[in-house]
Amino acid sequence: MHDKNLQNSTLLLARLDNMKVSGFAKDWLARLVAMPTQSQLPDQDEVLRDYLSKGIAPLLDEIGFDQKIYANPIKNAPPLLVAHRHENDVLPTILIYGHGDVIHAQYEGWHEGLQPFETVARDGLIYGRGTADNKGQHLINLLALKAVLDVQGRLGFNVKFLLEMGEETGSPGLFGFCQAHKDTLKADVLISSDGPRLDIDTPTVFLGSRGALNFGLSVDLRPQALHSGNWGGLIADPAIRLTQALATLTDARGQLQIVSWRPTSLTPEVRAMIDLLPDADTQESIIDVNWGERDLSPNERVFGWNSFAILAMNSGVPEAPVNAISGSAQATCQLRYVVGTDTDAILPDLRQHLDHLGFEDVIIFQENQVAFKATRQDANNIWVQKVVSSLEKGAGRPVHLLPNLAGSLPNECFTQALGLTTIWIPHSYRQCSQHAPNEHMPERLFFSALTLMAKLFSDLGSENS
């Protein structure tokens, strides 16, 4: 058995090298990136469906998946694809998730010679929208499955693949779809990829994600602007009222001032996990070590605590200001939160807080806003131990194990609707320009992650030989 495993390992490395040298892997990445799957734009139904039926479908056929495209349970929301490769009823089943939609192109701002929907390799980086989020990541997992099958002829487990096309708009319909198709999606564990590694050369595993609630605040005092000379000092300025209200939500260093917005779940066990991570303040000079909760380390602030941000503000005409006091002001805000936050109290307690301080004129609104729930898994789960062990063996170093991602994902669809243990293995890094111009995937990360995932799938399958 040892000789056979060694032979398979050698053949697997050779197959992965062939995927690299032949251009097979990068050609597939270019093919997927070329499809402008911008789910935030109107009238994208055809291109979003084409990604499922024409983009990824041929690769799924090569891997031996049966596949079906489903209508979204929410009217006019993007379709979903479920693929299934079944080897034996007695084998465990792994569910893999990905999203084929991308953030909007942001054509202006890309480096000269680059454009969002064409992959260009430059200085060791592969540029293109979706290379990191999320086309490149779910492609790596599928190519890893294919490499194992090419060498061994079997996986040693059953695998299901769920691909949605609306994650960048809040995954509309995904939770309901998972609830309605529990039998179709039934599995033993979710192993998927999204988000960044902490360090480009060290595998990261996270067991959940922070939640995100977006909401708007506005002050609407009058239907039109009024001349600042004639009316200045006589009428309230909505921008001043709004900024004063916003300033009460945190102190000067960003510490949350609403009691229920401060979580209770930073337990000694979670702190112990976080303490094993590399110090965030020494990794990137951009980090402000004196921002956020004073008594927490930078890693505890981002992985174990809540954070409030103002995503956008507007009053008047910023690009062409005039001498007038605006009639209204608006801000788009966000609370990123961890498990242990009373989500039902977030906005009611904000209302109570504002009213108590005399800001009854500040309106809270939440319309078509992205909202993900917070999730976190037990690190002592047997599947977590198997995955971490394999990755550490493949990488030759300890992995970075996080209680949850600092960002947000639709993980509650899998933990709550399907009742699964969820293990996320990101194949990107924090400087990838995700959601910005010049999004890219480092070539060395792309192929090292492909090798790690192929070894992981081979290890998980070998247990059932």
Residue tagged 């063996």 (tokens):
393
Q: What is the mean pLDDT of residues 304-328?
A: 95
E strands, 105-259, are 120-122, 125-127, 158-164, 189-192, 196-197, 204-206, 208-209, 211-220, 226-227
- What is the dihedral angle through the alpha carbons of 86, 182, 369, 310, rounded to the nearest 10 degrees? -70
What pLDDT score does 3 carry? 61
Is pLDDT above 80 for 285?
Answer: no
Task: Classify strands 189-192 and 93-99 as parallel, antiparallel or unpaired.
Answer: parallel
What whole-number distance in Å separates Cα of residue 185 and Cα of residue 159?
A: 10
Residue 337 · residue 374 · CB < 8 Å: yes
What whole-number distance in Å separates Cα of residue 177 and Cα of residue 70?
A: 9
Fold of 2-209+374-462: Aminopeptidase (3.40.630)
What pLDDT score does 77 carry? 97
| Cα Rg, the chain, nearest whole Å | 24
Q: What percent of the chain has pLDDT over 90?
A: 91
Q: What percent of the chain has pLDDT over 70?
A: 96
410-462 residue pLDDT tens: 999 999 999 999 999 999 999 999 999 999 999 999 999 999 999 999 999 99
- Give the pLDDT band (50/70/90) at residue 369: low
106-156 residue pLDDT tens: 999 999 999 999 999 999 999 999 999 999 999 999 999 999 999 999 999
What's phi and psi for 82, nearest 5 deg? Answer: -125, 125
245-271 residue pLDDT tens: 999 999 999 999 999 999 999 999 999
Q: What is the mean pLDDT of residues 221-231?
A: 96
What are the extents of the domains in the chain? 2-209+374-462, 212-273+288-371
What pLDDT score does 8 carry? 81
146-162 residue pLDDT tens: 999 999 999 999 999 99
**Number of C-beta neighbours around residue 37 at 10 A:** 27
Mean of pLDDT over the chain: 95
Q: What is the mean pLDDT of residues 68-94?
A: 97
- What is the dihedral angle through the alpha carbons of 291, 196, 167, 331, rounded to the nearest 10 degrees? 20
- Give the pLDDT band (50/70/90) at residue 20: very high
Amino acid identity, residue 164?
Answer: E
Q: Quick one: angle between helices 2-21 and 135-152, nearest 10?
A: 130
Q: What is the mean pLDDT of residues 325-343?
A: 95
Residue tagged 């999204």 (tokens):
194
Q: How many helices (H) and strands (E) does the chain have?
A: 15, 22
* Residues forming a β-bridge with 214: 334
Is pLDDT above 80 for 299?
Answer: yes
The stretches of 181-237 forming alpha helices (DSSP H) are 228-231
What pLDDT score does 282 carry? 47
Is pLDDT above 90 for 283?
Answer: no
What whole-number distance in Å separates Cα of residue 107 and Cα of residue 47?
A: 18
pTM, entire model: 0.90
212-273+288-371: which CATH architecture?
A: 2-Layer Sandwich (3.30)
Concatenate the DSSP letters of all residues of 339-355 into one string: TT--GGGHHHHHHHHHH
- Give the pLDDT band (50/70/90) at residue 372: confident
Is pLDDT above 60 for 281?
Answer: no
162-212 residue pLDDT tens: 999 999 998 999 999 999 999 999 999 999 999 999 999 999 999 999 999
Q: Which residues contact 10 (CB under 8 A, 6 or more apart)?
A: none
Helix (H) or strand (E) holding 69: strand 66-70
